[in-house]
Amino acid sequence: MGPTATPATRRVIAAAATALLSGCAGDAYVRADADRAADFSSYRSFGFASPLGTDRDGVGTLASAHLRDAASGQLQARGLAYDAAAPQLLVDFRATVGDRIASPPPAVSIGIGIGSGGWGVGSGGWSVGGSIHSTWPLLVGSPASSAYQEGTLVVEMVDAARRQTVWQGQMTGPLVRRDDDARAAIADAVARIFEKFPLPRRGGAR
């Protein structure tokens, strides 16, 4: 039987990869950084680091296999060929999870007062007419802060000859429970990250 990821490992990596796919596009973001001295047009081949950062204790996981397939498709669509023996670029992946606290802005306390000859809005607001005898609070206090987990999926490219990272793309967002196919979800997430890659997809490539 081949190696498989634990449920926890698969959940972490798949959730980090699919943070944007829950329908809340504004909750996740993609960013990238590149070595300005690197000539990406000179690269013709790629391979994968061994072990990958998403393997478990040196054992390959299903999540790593899905990530390899997705990255291979993206790089081949940009004209690079897979070369296990002597690749110019080495691809690696990482997935991390961290605890975060969401602190919404404090709610505004508003009071409406009824007085002789007019009406007004709370202390510090404005009023028309006579003095305010009493107020009715419409909203008082602040919503409670909420804790959540944030996942990050990282794709890293290393120049094999120089042993130097030349590009890194990542997607970060809140972890969500999903029952979708992990392979398809990871492929979509990797495609989002590769939108930031310096080499564009060739015409007609999907």
Complete DSSP assignment for 177-191: ---S-HHHHHHHHHH
Neighbouring residues of 176: CB distance < 8 A, sequence distance ≥ 6: 15, 18, 19, 22, 24
Considering the domain architecture, whether residues 90 and 153 belong to the same structural domain is answered as yes
* Cα dist from 182 to 15, 63, 97, 98, whole Å: 9, 8, 17, 21
Q: Residue 136: what are its φ and ψ, rounded to 5°?
A: -120, 110
Residue 205 lies in a domain: no
Asked whether residue 33 falls in the same domain as residue 13, the answer is yes
CATH number for the domain spanning 96: value is 3.30.160.670
Residue 28 pLDDT > 90, yes or no?
no
Q: Are 68 and 110 in contact (CB under 8 A)?
A: no
Tell me, yes or no, whether 132 lies in a domain.
Answer: yes
For 54-91, write each residue's pLDDT tens digit: 998 888 888 899 999 999 999 999 999 999 999 999 99
- Give the total number of structural domains in the chain: 2
Structural domain range at position 57: 7-102+145-194
Q: Is residue 131 part of a domain?
A: yes
**How many Cβ atoms from other residues are within 10 Å of residue 164's Cβ?**
12
Asked which of 16-20, 120-124, 145-149 is least confident by mean pLDDT, the reply is 120-124
- Do 17 and 85 lie in a common domain? yes
Q: What is the pTM of this model?
A: 0.69
Decide if 2 is inside a domain.
no
Q: Yes or no: say if 13 and 52 are a contact pair by the CB < 8 Å rule.
A: no
Do strands 89-102 and 45-48 pair parallel, antiparallel, or not at all (unpaired)? Answer: parallel
Which class for 23: exposed (0-12), middle (13-18), buried (19 or more C-beta within 10 A)? Answer: exposed
User: Residue 66, class by beta-carbon neighbours within 10 Å (0-12 exposed, 13-18 middle, 19+ buried)?
Assistant: buried
Pair (151, 120) in one structural domain? no
With cut-offs at 50, 70 and 90, classify the pLDDT of residue 42.
very high
Asked, for residue 199, whether it belongs to a domain, the answer is: no
- 93-104, pLDDT tens digit by residue? 998 887 777 666
Residues sharing a CB contact under 8 Å with residue 160, sequence separation 6 or more, in sequence order: 47, 86, 87, 88, 89, 90
Residues 93 and 168 both lie in one domain:
yes
The answer to whether residues 17 and 63 belong to one domain is yes
pLDDT of 47 reads 98
Q: pLDDT confidence of 204, banded at 50, 70, 90? A: low
Distances (CA, A) of 127 to 87, 120, 138: 74, 4, 16
**Per-residue DSSP letter, 174:** E
163 and 74 within one domain? yes
Q: Among the ranges 20-29, 51-60, 138-147, which has the highest mean pLDDT value? A: 51-60
| 121 shares a domain with 40 | no
CB-count exposure of residue 116 (10 Å: 0-12, 13-18, 19+): exposed
Are 67 and 159 contained in the same domain?
A: yes
**Are 81 and 150 part of one and the same domain?**
yes
pLDDT band at 122, cuts 50/70/90? very low
12 and 34 in one domain?
Answer: yes
Task: Examine the domain organization and report whether 37 and 129 are in the same domain.
Answer: no
